Amino acid sequence: MGFSSITGMGTVTPAGIGVDSFWNQALQGRSYIQSGLGQISETITSTLAEKTSQKLNRPLLIAYHSILEAMEQAGWSRFNTDDGLIIGTTVGQVPLWEKELMRWAKKEIDFAQFAEFLPYQSLGHLTQSLCQALGFQGRSLVVSSACSASTQALALASVWVQTGLVKRCLVGGIEVLCDLTVEGFRSLQLLSDNVATPFSKDRKGINLSEGAAFFCVEKSDSRPLAYLSGYGWSTDAFHMASPHPEGVGTLKAIQGALSRAQLSPQEISWIHAHGTGSKANDLAEGIAISKLFGNQSPPVSSTKPIHGHALGASGALEVSLCVKALQNRMILGNAPLHLDPEIPEISYALGNQKSELQHILKNTLGFGGNNAALVLSSANL
Amino acid sequence: MKICVLGAGIADQKSNLESLQSRPAFRKATRNMQLSCFAIEQAIQALPADQRDQTALILGSGLGELDITQQFLSTLATSKMARPILFQSSLHNATIGFLSIQLGMTGPSFTVSNGPQTGENCLELACSLLQNGDCLYSLVVGVDSKVPSFDVDLGEGAGAVLLTTEKGLLPSHRPLGWMGDLQRVSLPFDSAAIYCMAEGFLQVERQPG
State pLDDT tens for residues A239-286.
988 999 999 999 999 999 999 999 999 999 999 999 999 999 999 999
Residue A319 to residue A213: CA distance in whole angstroms:
9
CA separation, residue A367 to residues A276, A319, B149, B168 (Å): 12, 19, 27, 30
Cβ–Cβ contact B148 with A under 8 A: no
Q: Is the pLDDT of residue A144 over 60?
A: yes
Chain B residues within 8 A of A140 when measuring between CB atoms = 114, 117
- A29-38, A140-149, A189-198, B197-206: least confident range: B197-206
Neighbouring residues of B7: CB distance < 8 A, sequence distance ≥ 6? B42, B43, B44, B45, B46, B47, B160, B161, B162, B176
Residue A1, pLDDT score = 47
Name the band, by pLDDT with cuts 50, 70 and 90, for residue B189. low
Binary contact (A101, B73; C-beta < 8 A) = yes
Optimal mutation site among A96, A121, A144, interface B, most CBs of chain B within 10 A: A144
Q: For chain B, what is the mean pLDDT?
A: 89
Helical pair A248-261 and A279-293, crossing angle rounded to 10 deg = 50
Q: Which residues of B touch A98 (CB under 8 A)?
A: 73
Percentage of chain B modeled with pLDDT above 90: 73
Q: How many residues does chain B have?
A: 209
Task: Please give the average per-residue pLDDT across B45-56, as a whole number.
Answer: 95
**Average pLDDT in the A185-200 region?**
96
pLDDT of residue B196: 75
Q: What does the mean pLDDT of chain A come to?
A: 95
Best A100, A235, A236, A371 residue to mutate vs chain B (most B CBs within 10 Å): A235
In this model, does residue B209 exceed pLDDT 90?
Answer: no
In 3D, which of B156, B141, B193, B187 has the Cα closest to residue B63? B156
Mean pLDDT of B147-160: 89
Burial of residue A355, with CB atoms counted within 10 A of its CB: 0-12 exposed, 13-18 middle, 19 or more buried: middle
Strand locations in chain A (E): 4-13, 16-17, 37-38, 83-88, 139-143, 168-175, 208-209, 211-219, 226-235, 270-272, 300-301, 330-331, 353-354, 359-365, 370-378
Residue B208 has pLDDT above 70, yes or no: no
Four-CA torsion A74, A80, A81, A82, nearest 10 degrees: -50
- Shortest CB distance from A101 goes to which of B70, B84, B112? B70
pLDDT in the model for residue A350: 86
Q: What is the spatial distance between Cα A142 and Cα B67, in angstroms, rounded to a whole number? A: 20
Query: What's the pLDDT at B206?
Result: 59
For residue range A155-172, what is the model confidence (pLDDT) as tens digits?
999 999 999 999 999 999
A11 strand-pairing partners: A213
Q: Is there a contact between B119 and B152 (Cβ–Cβ < 8 Å)?
A: no
Q: Give A294's contacts (C-beta < 8 A, 6+ positions apart).
A: none
Rounded average pLDDT over A21-41: 97
pLDDT given for residue A227 in this prediction = 96
Which of residues B23 and B180 earns the better pLDDT score? B23
Do the chains contact at A124 and B93, CB–CB below 8 Å? no
Report the percentage of chain A scoring pLDDT > 90. Answer: 93
User: Searching chain A, which residue's CA lies closest to the CA of residue B78?
Assistant: A106
**Distances in whole angstroms, Cα of residue A135 to Cα of each of A64, A100, A132, A217, B101:** 11, 30, 5, 18, 41
Decide if B71 touches A, using CB distance below 8 A.
no
Using a CB-CB cut-off of 8 Å, the residues of chain B touching A183 are 76, 82, 87
pLDDT > 70? residue B186: no
State residue B188's pLDDT score: 59
Q: What pLDDT does B151 receive?
A: 85
- Distance of residue B209 Cα from the nearest chain A Cα, in angstroms: 37
Chain B nearest-CA distance from A89, in A, is 10
- Give A-chain residues touching B113 at CB under 8 angstroms: 122-124, 142, 144
pLDDT score of A76 more than 70:
yes
Interface test with A, best of B76, B85, B118, B182 (most A CBs within 10 A): B76
pLDDT digits (tens, 9 = 90+) for B60-86: 999 999 999 999 999 999 999 999 999
Nearest-CA residue of chain A relative to B152? A115
Contact B100/A at CB under 8 A = yes
Asked if A378 and A332 count as a contact pair (C-beta separation under 8 A), the reply is no
B 180-199 near A (Cβ less than 8 A): 190
Segment A114-122 shows an average pLDDT of: 94
Which residues of chain B have a CB within 8 Å of the CB of A367?
Answer: 88, 91, 93-94, 97
Q: Give the rounded percent of residues in chain A with a pLDDT score beyond 70.
A: 99
Across A176-185, A193-202, A213-222, B28-37, least confident range: A213-222
Cβ of A102 within 8 Å of Cβ of B77? The answer is yes
Rounded alpha-carbon distances, angstroms, from residue A269 to A127, A329, A353: 36, 10, 11
Higher pLDDT pick, A381 / A179: A179
Q: How far apart are CA A226 and CA A379, in angstroms?
A: 5
Which of the residue ranges A149-153, A230-234, A363-367, B200-204 would you say has the lowest mean pLDDT? B200-204
Q: Which of A102, A180, A239 lies closest to B90 in CB terms? A: A180
Closest residue in A to B107 (Cα–Cα)? A234
Supply the pTM of this predicted model: 0.96
| B25: contact with A, CB 8 A cutoff | no
Average pLDDT over residues A49-58: 95
Q: Which of A128, A235, A368 sits opposite B108 (nearest CB)?
A: A235
Q: B115 to chain A: nearest residue by CA?
A: A124
